[in-house]
Amino acid sequence: MNAHAASMERPVLKDKTRLGDVGPKIAHAALILGLIALGGSIAWGVTLEGGKPLWKSYLINFAFFTSLTLGGLFFVIIQHVTHAGWSVVVRRVAEAVACNAWLMALLGAGFVLGGGMGSLYEWWHLHPGHGNHLYDIKAPYLNHTFFYIRFVAYFAIWIVLSQYFFRTSVKQDESGDPNLTLAMERRSPLAVILFALSLTFFAVDMLMSLEYAWFSTMFGVYYFAGTAGAFFAVAILTLSFLQGRGLLTESVTKEHYHDLGKLVFAFVVFWCYIAYSQYMLIWYANIPEETFWYQNRLGDGWKGLSLFLLLGHFFGPFLFLMSRWQKRRHGTLLAAAIWMLFMHWIDMFWLVKPGADMPALQSSVFDLTLFIGMGGLWVWALFRRLQDVSLVPERDPRLGESLRFENY
Amino acid sequence: MNTTAASYLDNTGKDPTQRAPLVLGANDLHDVTDKVCGIIENPKPSTGWYVGMAVSLLLLAVLGYSVFYLFFVGVGVWGVNNPVGWGFAIVNFVFWVGIGHAGTLISAILYLFRQTWRTGINRSAEAMTIFAVICAGLFPGIHVGRVWVVYWMFPLPNQMEMWPQFRSPLLWDVFAVSTYFTVSLLFWYTGLVPDIASVRDRAKHRIRQIGYGILAIGWRGSNRHWHRYERAYLILAALSTPLVLSVHSVVSFDFAVAQLPGWHTTIFPPYFVAGAIFSGFAMVVTLLVPARKWLGLEELITLRHLENMNKIILVTGSMVGYAYAMEFFIAWYGGVHEETFAFISRATGPFWWAYWIMVSCNVIFPQLFWFKKLRTSLPAMMVVCLLVNVGMWFERFVITVTSLSSDFLPSSWGYYYPTLIDFTTLIGSFGLFFTLFLLFCRFLPIVAMAEVKMTMPQAHPSKH
């Protein structure tokens, strides 16, 4: 292979790879904004209509930011599984994003312990043996104790995995020991399995069981498809932001953006493939146990939103991102990344909001304020994490490959 | 680069500071051409080839006889009955379409992912794709009953205004499989052109010169030709990528759009695709392990290539395992009595043996590939991959037959007994497949020479 000889030499990074004083400024502003928005929303919303509008919005944003975090974890794991070279300069950002799992755990605990479960999930109030045959069947899975156990398990898995990959990678910045890469590669296949199972059942518990009667074997894959796609958009945005502050200007190039753009495109298509398969099969078989879930999303105003999701999450970005030119131009790629994040948020909204209690489309002010609240904390945690470390894995054995990487 | 004599032929090392070489030994660009072209320039093929061909032709004759007998007597010679109206023919169809997934995945998706190791195996895998799709296409064609009007499968305008049922996934299959076949064939042929030109240029015999000359469509290796070739290759890769997903997704719709318990489940499309890639790679490994030995290609199709394929088998096998688990979980969680019954009945009912063959071959045995020692051992990978082939055939059997044999009404249940002709048709289809593959090994370059050379250090002189 052509890469051998050159990769033996230790590459020299020519650009700024430390956040320096950029970090605290962003982190503080985000923290203050986040705390005000989150605290204000909860204080105001918790008594409003029994807290229901608040908790729905909370769940939308919780599912959204958790999925960005998980997207980061997925990216890190998959790079190690495949022994990827091109992505080394991008990986530190993903490692830090994944580490936000602890923040999502706290926010999730707030939801579960603060009354979100009781407010949104019908099954939370049901007891077996009271004549609800369907719930009687599901009770061994959908009960409080088992739910708590699973919830703790998901976040424990994500926190342990994200901390492991982040810390090992940072350790390598100092020692440059290639054995650390080997260690991470060795553990990554197991991480993939844990990730796949935890993400699937997280989606089942937090989103699918909102309608406890409804079921779809595809649901976990659907949440995953949006998750992975959204992370690439986050990576594009974060790297652009850092480069705008004069960081990583040499190591991250148009080539890396181009690849991230390709991955956004790929997951635009994959998401649509999954969404279409799920919808078409349920529509075609036309069994009432399944169709009611989509029926809820075709009511007053919801139909428009469903169509918007189809156009905005698939057709628009599919056509927009198809050409090489759009992916290699900074402005167009950035616009696409922002749009895809917006559409992913709409997707979460579309999953959480509709239901028998909401026949017509309604948005609430908490949708926005909690986005700002959780988003602020999320950005704060991300920049805190990146503050004291290099923004690229400086001594990764494949750094040279990543720096030299070119799309031809 | 630094392959020492001790590690000769083993390039499966993991050293992250350097990428392992894909062509081993002291081969330069010319040696690659010599090695690959040598196989087809040899005036007499090996005895092994003749033996293989004899067996394959015998099996092909068995297929020919089975099909003739079927046409002569009718579909009643098969074991299909009421309620199991879909028997071996559909199982074989789905099985062969599945086998036909590895080639295009290797050529298209791994190309887009810049996996240069694909170059050693893509040509033969693509050939297998095409031959497998031919085998697959046979089965719906002979299952229609009135074979003399088989062209009615296509929506051809006619004075009777008779049209196929556009709402049926079986018609979508006609489009999906024929599109896949066409694009795979074009893709394969496009990649072959520069290599066929090499064969043409080396040919000594007039007939060879003319034959390969026509197939090489005027390739002269000019810059302009290479430029167009690379563009065409990229575009075909981009077109093939969604096709890898769509074909088996549409095949899965044959089952999943129905309301039959065990068939109607939303995860079917990606699950079928993963299963198809799983079985396709198993077939590629099964054929390449002996082929590389007999044809002396161990330095081009290296242990690393095989190990990587085994890793893909492990990944896709795990995806299939995930799908089995989700199906079971949702069959219970959904709380629909018939659905729960269908799944319990698969594991413990009259076809329990088929179910456990499927689970052990598809989920349990591939786990052996977690161990590097086993996934780099030729005998071990042969055994596991053969078992995967068996397991994936049984998966389709389990899906098709168990659900049909016991649906909602116990009074309409029935068992399914395949007949001798069912078995001879299945075994015969392997004859068709192997005959085509052996002809390919004899007459076309089985390794993509031009592409392999691009991955060799000699192709990048400036870097050294």
Q: DSSP letters along B371-384, please?
A: SHHHHT-HHHHHHH
What are the tens digits of pLDDT across the range B56-114? Answer: 999 999 999 999 999 999 999 999 999 999 999 999 999 999 999 888 888 888 989 98
Handedness of CA B45, B51, B57, B63 (dihedral sign): negative
Q: Is residue A120 situated within a structural domain?
A: yes
Tally Cβ neighbours within 10 Å of residue A325: 8
Residues 230-269 of chain A with CB under 8 A from chain B are 262, 269
Q: Is residue A8 situated within a structural domain?
A: no
Q: Does A193 touch chain B (CB under 8 A)?
A: yes
Q: Does A387 touch chain B (CB under 8 A)?
A: no
Choose among B17, B34, B15: nearest CA to B299: B34
The per-residue pLDDT for A331 is: 93
Q: Which domain holds residue A376?
A: 18-404
- Check A289 against B336: CB less than 8 A apart: yes
Q: Does B452 touch chain A (CB under 8 A)?
A: no
Distance CA A100, CA B238 (A): 35
Contact A151, A201 (CB under 8 A): no
Distance CA B24, CA B10 (A): 9
What are the tens digits of pLDDT across the range B371-415? Answer: 999 999 999 999 999 999 999 999 999 999 999 999 899 999 999
Residues 107-126 of chain B with CB under 8 A from chain A are 112, 114, 116
Distance CA B459, CA B464 (A): 10
Q: Does B13 touch chain A (CB under 8 A)?
A: no
The per-residue pLDDT for B455 is: 86
- Closest residue, chain B, to A140 (C-alpha): B333
Q: Is residue A209 situated within a structural domain?
A: yes
Q: Is residue A157 situated within a structural domain?
A: yes
The per-residue pLDDT for A68 is: 97
Q: What are phi and psi of A355, to 5 degrees?
A: 170, 175
| B391 token code pair | 């397991």
- Check A284 against B464: CB less than 8 A apart: no
Type of residue numbered A329: R
- Check B258 against A274: CB less than 8 A apart: no
Number of domains in chain A: 1
Q: Is residue A5 situated within a structural domain?
A: no
Residue carrying the six token digits 């003739």: B68
The per-residue pLDDT for A9 is: 61
Q: Does A171 touch chain B (CB under 8 A)?
A: no
Tell me which residue in B112, B267, B457 faces A217 most closely, judged by beta carbons: B267
Look up residue B7 and give its DSSP letter. G
The per-residue pLDDT for A302 is: 93
Report which of residues B15 and A367 the model is more confident about.
A367
Residue B423 to chain A, least CA–CA distance (Å): 33
- Check A5 against B463: CB less than 8 A apart: yes
H or E element that contains B298: none
The per-residue pLDDT for A7 is: 44
Give the list of residues 6+ apart from residue A301 with CB closer than 8 angstroms, or none. Answer: A360, A361, A362
- Check B258 against A285: CB less than 8 A apart: yes
Choose among A274, A291, A290: nearest CA to A347: A274
Contact A378, A27 (CB under 8 A): no
Q: Does B20 touch chain A (CB under 8 A)?
A: yes
The per-residue pLDDT for B24 is: 85
| B448 token code pair | 């993509």
Residues 227-256 of chain B with CB under 8 A from chain A are 242, 245, 249, 253, 256
Distance CA A343, CA A313 (A): 6
The per-residue pLDDT for A14 is: 82
Report in angstroms the alpha-carbon separations of A114 from A31, A117, A142, A368, B452. Answer: 21, 8, 19, 20, 61
Partners of A358 in the beta sheet? A355
Mean per-residue pLDDT of chain A: 93
Choose among B105, B189, B120, B102: nearest CA to B451: B120
Look up residue B362 and give its DSSP letter. I
Residue A265 to chain B, least CA–CA distance (Å): 12
Residue carrying the six token digits 């090392």: B13
Mean per-residue pLDDT of chain B: 91
What are the tens digits of pLDDT across the range A247-261? Answer: 999 999 999 999 999
Distance CA A373, CA A366 (A): 10
Give the list of residues 6+ apart from residue B335 with CB closer than 8 angstroms, or none. Answer: A133, A134, A137, A138, A213, A215
Q: Does B2 touch chain A (CB under 8 A)?
A: yes
Residue B258 to chain A, least CA–CA distance (Å): 6
Q: Does B199 touch chain A (CB under 8 A)?
A: no
Tally Cβ neighbours within 10 Å of residue B51: 10
Average pLDDT over residues A59-71: 97
| A304 token code pair | 């428009």
Contact A147, A121 (CB under 8 A): no
Choose among B395, B357, B397: nearest CA to B80: B397
Residues 355-374 of chain B with CB under 8 A from chain A are 370
What are the tens digits of pLDDT across the range A263-318? Answer: 999 999 999 999 999 999 999 999 999 999 999 999 888 999 999 999 999 999 99
Residue A213 to chain B, least CA–CA distance (Å): 7
- Check B268 against A284: CB less than 8 A apart: no
Q: Does B22 touch chain A (CB under 8 A)?
A: yes
Partners of A355 in the beta sheet? A358
Give the list of residues 6+ apart from residue B228 with CB closer than 8 angstroms, or none. Answer: none
Percent of chain B with pLDDT over 70: 98
CA A292, A298, A301: angle at the middle one, nearest 5? 140
Percent of chain B with pLDDT over 90: 77
Q: DSSP letters along B16-31, please?
A: TTSPPPSS-SS--HHH
What are the tens digits of pLDDT across the range A124-148? Answer: 999 999 989 999 999 999 999 999 9
Q: Is residue A193 situated within a structural domain?
A: yes
Q: Is residue A2 situated within a structural domain?
A: no
| B79 token code pair | 């074991």
Distance CA A275, CA B52 (A): 46
Average pLDDT over residues A199-221: 96
Alpha-carbon Rg for chain A in angstroms: 22
Q: Does B211 touch chain A (CB under 8 A)?
A: no
Give B-chain residues touching A221 at CB under 8 angstroms. Answer: 267, 270
Contact A70, A154 (CB under 8 A): no
Q: Does A106 touch chain B (CB under 8 A)?
A: no
The per-residue pLDDT for B252 is: 96
Residues 313-342 of chain B with CB under 8 A from chain A are 318, 322-323, 326-327, 329-330, 332-336
Q: Indicate the length of chain A as a whole number.
A: 408
Residue A2 has pLDDT above 50, yes or no: no
What are the tens digits of pLDDT across the range B235-286? Answer: 999 999 999 899 999 999 999 999 999 999 999 999 999 999 999 999 999 9
Q: Is residue A13 situated within a structural domain?
A: no
Res. A6 pLDDT band, cuts 50 70 90: very low
Tally Cβ neighbours within 10 Å of residue A89: 25
Give A-chain residues touching B237 at CB under 8 angstroms. Answer: none
Contact B16, A182 (CB under 8 A): yes
Q: Does B459 touch chain A (CB under 8 A)?
A: yes
Residue A46 has pLDDT above 60, yes or no: yes
Distance CA A211, CA A302 (A): 17
Question: Cα B28 vs. chain centroid, distance in angstroms?
Answer: 31
